[in-house]
Chains A and B, each alone.
Chain A
């Protein structure tokens, strides 16, 4: 350890520009790997989550991008007529979120309300850490069972009630905590699978037909945007499309999840592939630059290495020192990225950004740790390439007295 400390402080770090150079190159390589790894992992999670809608007879609504929204002709009667048609002819999963409410809580976060019906609840298989499943057969005048995110469970344990002015119905409601969602439960975007929102500060509100009947146009309209039709066919959807057109003046597309995946593959996956290939190329370039930097370092430090070898350093120990030094640089870089990521995650808490506030060891969630593991693996590969190249360089210009002349 004493020898390692000496070599690092008195030899390696004395050539500051080279030390900083390799540190920055490594940091760049690590950050690129980390970002790409997280994107891939997040996309994979999105695929896993949306698997349930990727089956025969399931279609997801999507407003036609060419359709012009004229809100002056959209009214409550129109949206209600669409829902009446849906209720009579379809089995559908309803989900909409992003309705912010003020509910006192220990973290002083704004709370997001997510509304879902029983079909959506069954499809999604929400995992609970406490309590029991949602009950959709309730009376609006009584206590309404809800699920809450982990962040709210400190203030509202299972069985507690939440009094709030609910904006969709425009009246005060009493909610009863039926269960607590697992830590960092999330919802992925159907069309951008690597994008997700977290439920840690959400209230999951059960929606039934009575609720939709009395709800404001906003939630009815928003709900239609991502409505999932189950056990249906193209013909039935064609008639629904007509009903929507007649009542709301809007053109809707209904895509199967396979079509959504295709869309994703065509646009998003393509971008991911570009990110992946660019990352790979950048990693190769950075590795080459690091190897070059290390070669220059060896050339400049050869005299110092030689003197140390003359007075008792062995080549095997020198190899260990090189690996130790590189391991140390890698550790510092991984720590920097961890701190940066933790700071970013913590920023969501500071900004009271309920949709992205997460829990995890040192502020990092599972996906971050996995990406850091991949960074460590890539560092090992880069490290082996650099160190072996340094040793090859030293062997090529053998350590000898000639070096000192």
Chain B
């Protein structure tokens, strides 16, 4: 299978005035297209930090990262932003919506950064198809604060997949959802992977969900 993520982190250091914490020591991750990987571990082990690095939000670490065959260290920040817009989708907790925008505007937010004609953008998902599949048509004109947790989680999911990304980074996407909504989100994620060969990396505390991925990476907290 085609390798799209090749990450090697020697260490990632967080410094405060008094302390210094080193995480992801000698961490290595390779991921192929369509692969589903779960990342588990106790709080502070570096799960979200790992997603920040993979999602091109954090380049302040000691290591090397090749994404889609290109070393990311050499890429300009505008190119990184373009990749976040078109090739990486973030599926986060239901709170990751802008409260001043309607659900529709939140979902369509990536279009704003794709340019007026979405030039250079690959195939994108049809908005209406996504909305129907996720069953959120009835809340499109609502503001996030007027929606339930499950509805918001599905809206966040819709935004994460609207550009048909090659990688989906899911950070505790089901953490505060009931069983029904949790199952719904996981099914949507896995269907996406199956249908479009999307690589999925999910950070979760839920071992039941983790075990449904192709492989599970356990991060340990440094001593």
A interface residues with partner B (beta carbon < 8 Å):
2-3, 6, 10-11, 14, 303-304, 307-317, 398-402, 404-405
Contact = CB atoms under 8 A, between A and B. Distances in A.
Given A312-B84, A401-B92, 4 more contacts: A307-B97, A308-B109, A316-B77, A400-B57
Contact of B52 (A304, A312, A314, A401): A401
Contact of A401 (B57, B77, B97, B113): B57
B151 interface: no
Interface string B159-185: 100000000000110000000000000
Interface string B97-116: 11011000100011011101
Contact of B81 (A303, A317, A398, A405): A317
B97 to A, nearest CB: 7
A309 B78 CA distance: 11
B57 A6 contact: no
17 contacts: A2-B112, A6-B112, A10-B101, A14-B100, A307-B96, A310-B84, A310-B90, A316-B78, A398-B58, A398-B60, A400-B48, A400-B57, A401-B57, A401-B90, A402-B52, A405-B48, A405-B172
A402 to B, nearest CB: 5
B98 A3 contact: no
A88 B178 CA distance: 109
A183 to B, nearest CB: 49
A14 B101 CA distance: 10
Interface string B18-48: 0000000000000000000000000000001
B58 to A, nearest CB: 6
B80 interface: yes
Given A398-B58, A400-B58, A314 B77 contact: yes
Interface centre among B57, B58, B78 (most CB of A within 10 A): B57
Given A14-B100, A312-B82, A314-B78, A404 B114 contact: no
Contact of B95 (A11, A312, A400, A404): A404
Contacts of A317: 78, 81
Nearest to B95: A404
A3 B112 contact: yes
Query: Top 3 nearest A-B pairs by Cβ distance?
Result: A312-B85, A312-B113, A314-B81
Interface in B44-95: 48-49, 51-52, 55, 57-58, 60, 77-78, 80-82, 84-86, 90, 92-93, 95
A14 to B, nearest CB: 4
B95 A399 contact: no
Given A3-B112, A401-B51, A311 B57 contact: no
Contacts of B60: 398
Nearest to A7: B112
B144 to A, nearest CB: 11
A3 B100 contact: no
B112 A304 contact: no
Contacts of B105: 10
A311 B159 contact: yes
Contacts of B77: 314-316
B114 A307 contact: no
Given A314-B80, A315-B77, A400-B57, A307 B109 contact: yes
B116 A2 contact: yes
A404 B99 CA distance: 13
Contacts of A307: 96-98, 109
Most chain B Cβ neighbours within 10 Å, of A3, A6, A11, A404:
A404
A405 B78 CA distance: 26
B106 to A, nearest CB: 8
A11 B98 contact: yes
A312 B118 CA distance: 12
B80 A401 contact: no
Contacts of A6: 112
Contact of A310 (B48, B55, B86, B93): B55
Given A401-B57, A401-B92, A404-B92, A304 B110 contact: no
A400 B172 CA distance: 14
A362 B109 CA distance: 42
A405 B175 CA distance: 10
Nearest to A315: B77
Contacts of A404: 92-93, 95-96, 171
Contacts of B97: 307
A401 B54 CA distance: 11
Contacts of B100: 10-11, 14, 304
A311 B84 contact: yes
B81 to A, nearest CB: 3
A185 B77 CA distance: 57
Contacts of B110: 311-312
B48 A402 contact: yes
Contacts of A311: 84-85, 90, 109-110, 112-113, 159
A73 B110 CA distance: 90
